[in-house]
Amino acid sequence: MANGQGPAFVMPDGDREGELRRRVLVVDDEAGVRESLRLVLRDKYDVSVAESGDEALRRIGGEGFDAVLLDLVMPGIDGLTVLERIKGQRPELPVVIVTATRTVKTAVTAIKLGAFDYIEKPFDLDELRIVLANATRTSALQREVNELRAEVGRRYQLGNIVGRSEAMQEVFRTVSQVAPLKTTVLITGESGTGKELIAKALHYQSPRASRTLTAINCAAIPEHLLESELFGHERGAFTSADARKLGQFELAHQSTIFLDEIAEMQPAMQAKLLRVIETGQFMRVGGTKPIDVDVRIVAATNQDLTQAIAAGTFRADLYYRLNVVTLHLPPLRERRQDLTLLIKHFTVAKAAELGIKERAFTPEAIDHLVRYRWPGNVRELENLIERLLVLADFGPVRPEELPEVIRQSQTAMPTGNMRGEVLLGIRTLSDAVDEFEREIIVEALHQAEFNQTRAAERLGTTRRILKYRMDKLGIREK
């Protein structure tokens, strides 16, 4: 190394832990030191070397390393500058500083700049192995976290949320517009319509997606604990507060917080939430100083907040702060054209999740499912599909396997069901086109009192072509 002191290695008795071979970059201006480190580490690591800061930065920019061993004292670009640039390129990459005793203070400065750890010269091989093992393990865990976050982000993209009805398409358009912004969003809809799913889509399509979404169910936390849960508390704030606790707002700094069942929040807490929205500040329970926080708020409710305001249980000023952008999720009974798509989606997803075979549905079973009103909405449908797969008989799902309440449903068959059956593979496109044409012709004949000439005029065709279509489709004259 540039200070002239070579490392003093004390060889261990043998390998003390087996681990995957990971990539380490050794950065040092002395060829002897680079070669020594390469030889002593090659039994466990794929070791690459760089003789200058410039070379190290080039290699880090184009190759994947799990850790860097970086000498602080080098000609040209010094170690601290190299460290800063590495953190600019690859902030998650662990950098271990190698330093002489007289530069330990500089090493401490490097830690503040983001270095993972430092080792002093002369050092033994055991120390080096332990530090590198910790560094590369941290790097591997960080990669795994990043991959999981990316997978979660892909899962909650709008393209993966089922809904072709116009109402859901309008929801998707609004989500795409407001997701990149900090705008507060209020999501309304009955229980089970997918409000949390839309909240996640808002978060994972925003610049805050790299941070964890915080979700709080305001109805699930007792009133006397909700303030501490949201804002934290200081030690001694109340009898059992034996230590400081950070609240969810503080933990969600620079991220998104999802407040589900916001209508269940008591007026006193509503006032504190209003302060956070208006000022970006809050105080821990028992605290004396306001804390600044950058949090995007997404709230949801299955209640009519205007009625809650009239009843005096919800603050009007908080409502207007939350109601900047409103997303209303329609109940499943109002988006029946999505039903067969959802059945197919949950059948495939649940079978993959449970590691079991998918099942088809007979047309009669689909007919019952489409007629049902689904008071539990999408959540009820999802749970039913899982039950039908877990308690599966062989072959397609038949009506007798459905719950009695579904079999007895007498809701009229929706007009959008035909398209769903085609997409589900129950009906061919040709059959669906014929049925649609048959219904239109029969209706035109009824309206024209079975006068084929007038019916043809209504349909914009000739009597000869109409008669040909009637014969082809098996439609009798009156």
Q: Does residue 4 belong to any structural domain of this protein?
A: no
Q: Does residue 155 belong to any structural domain of this protein?
A: no
Kindly report the average pLDDT of the chain as a whole number.
Answer: 84
Task: Please state whether the peptide bond connecting residue 7 to the residue before it is cis, i.e. omega within 30 degrees of 0.
Answer: no
Distances (CA, A) of 209 to 29, 151, 157, 246: 40, 11, 11, 21
> Is residue 391 scored above 90 in pLDDT?
no
- Ordered DSSP codes for 232-280: EE-TTSSTT--S-EE-HHHHTTTEEEEEETGGGS-HHHHHHHHHHHHHS
Q: Are 6 and 29 in contact (CB under 8 A)?
A: no
> Is residue 153 scored above 60 in pLDDT?
no
Query: To which H or E segment does residue 118 belong?
Result: strand 117-121
Of the candidates 422, 438, 454, which is a domain's last residue? 422
Shared domain check, 318 and 452: no
pLDDT band at residue 74, thresholds of 50, 70 and 90? confident
Pick the more confident residue, 211 or 260: 260
Residue-wise pLDDT tens digits, 404-447: 999 887 654 444 456 656 655 556 677 778 778 888 888 888 88
Which of 26-35, 144-153, 412-421 has the highest mean predicted lDDT (pLDDT)? 26-35
Shared domain check, 364 and 323: no
Q: Does residue 5 belong to any structural domain of this protein?
A: no
Q: Does residue 75 belong to any structural domain of this protein?
A: yes
Question: CATH no. for residue 139?
Answer: 3.40.50.2300
Shared domain check, 466 and 348: no
> Is residue 10 scored above 80 in pLDDT?
no
> Is residue 102 scored above 70 in pLDDT?
no
Shared domain check, 276 and 387: no
Q: Are 251 and 292 in contact (CB under 8 A)?
A: no
Backbone angles phi, psi at 257, to 5 degrees: -120, 130
> Is residue 73 scored above 70 in pLDDT?
yes
Shared domain check, 323 and 393: no
Question: CATH no. for residue 264?
Answer: 3.40.50.300
- Which of 110-119, 154-163, 267-276, 314-323 is predicted with the least confidence, judged by mean pLDDT? 154-163
- Please write down the HEC assignment for all residues of 286-335: CCCCCEECCEEEEEEECCCHHHHHHCCCCCHHHHHHHCCEEEECCCHHHC
Which of 158-167, 227-236, 414-423 has the highest mean predicted lDDT (pLDDT)? 227-236
Q: What is the mean pLDDT of residues 203-221?
A: 92
Shared domain check, 452 and 368: no
Partners of residue 292 on adjacent β-strands:
281
Q: Tell which residue, 365, 373, 377, 320, has the closest CA to residue 168.
A: 377
Shared domain check, 297 and 172: yes
- The domain total for the chain is 4
Instruction: Give me 359's structure tokens.
Output: 């099942």
Q: Does residue 16 belong to any structural domain of this protein?
A: no
Considering the entire predicted model, what is its pTM?
0.62
Shared domain check, 308 and 195: yes
Quote the percentage of the chain above a pLDDT of 70: 88
Shared domain check, 339 and 305: no
What pLDDT score does 63 carry?
82
What pLDDT score does 131 carry?
87
Q: What is the mean pLDDT of residues 127-133?
A: 86
> Is residue 105 scored above 80 in pLDDT?
no
Of the candidates 86, 116, 150, which is a domain's last residue? 150
Burial 328-358 (b: 16+ CB within 10 A, else e): ebbbbeebbbbbbbbbbbbbebbbeeeeeee
Of the candidates 329, 357, 383, which is a domain's last residue? 329
Shared domain check, 209 and 126: no
Q: What is the mean pLDDT of residues 220-241?
A: 87
- Residue 105 DSSP SS3: helix
Shared domain check, 204 and 99: no
> Is residue 374 scored above 60 in pLDDT?
yes
Instruction: Give me 263's structure tokens.
Output: 């209508």
Residues 6+ apart with CB under 8 A from 455: 441, 444, 445, 447, 448, 466
> Is residue 6 scored above 80 in pLDDT?
no
Question: CATH no. for residue 405?
Answer: 1.10.8.60
Shared domain check, 416 and 302: no
Q: Could you tell me the residue range of the domain that residue 451 belongs to?
A: 429-473
